[in-house]
Structure 1
Amino acid sequence: MNGIIARFWLQLLLRREQAVTLLVSLSVVILFNLFMHEGIAITYSVNLLFVAFFSLQIASIHKRNHTEPFLYISVLPTYRLITYQFYISLILTFPLLLMMSGLLWKSFADVSLWNLLLIVLSSVIFAIMSGIFVGQIVKHFGLAFTILISVYLPMGLMAWSYNEKFRYISPIVNIFNPYMINWRNLIGLLGCSLLFYGLGTLLSSRRGGGKKSLIPWISTVLACCLLLGVWGYEGMFNQKMRATTFQMVKVGQTQVEYKGISSYQAKQFATLFETLYQVAKKKETHPVRYTLEITRIHSMSSFEPKIIVQNHNKLQINIYSNKLLEFNFGMDWASKWIDYILPQSPHLSNEQVEAFRHIKSDIVLEVRRRNPAHVYTLQGD
Structure 2
Amino acid sequence: MPETMSKTPSIESLAADCKAASRELSTLSTETKNRTLRRMADALEANEEAILAANDKDVSAAREDGLADALIDRLVLNPDRITKMADALRDVASFADPVGEMSGTTQRPSGIEVGKMRIPLGVIGMIYEARPNVTADAAGLCFKAGNAVLLRGGSNAFHSNQAVAAALHEALEAEDVPPAAVTLVPTTDRAAVREMLTLNQHLDLVIPRGGEGLIRFVDETSQIPVIKHYKGVCHLYVDQDADLETAEDLLLDGKVSRPSVCNALETLLVHEDVAKDFLPRAKELLDRKDVELRGDARTQQLLPGVGEATDEDYAAEYLDLTLAARVVGSPDAAMEHITEYGSNHTEVIASDDLPTARRFVRAVDASVVLVNASSRFSDGGELGLGAEIGISTTKLHAYGPMGLEALTTEKFVVYGDGET
Shorter-chain-normalised TM-score: which range?
under 0.3
Tell which has more relative contact order, 1 or 2 (C-alpha 8 A, sep 6+). 2
| Higher strand fraction (1 or 2) | 2
TM-score between the two structures when normalised by the length of structure 2:
0.19
| Higher helix fraction (1 or 2) | 1
| Structure with the greater alpha carbon radius of gyration | 1
TM-score between the two structures when normalised by the length of structure 1:
0.20
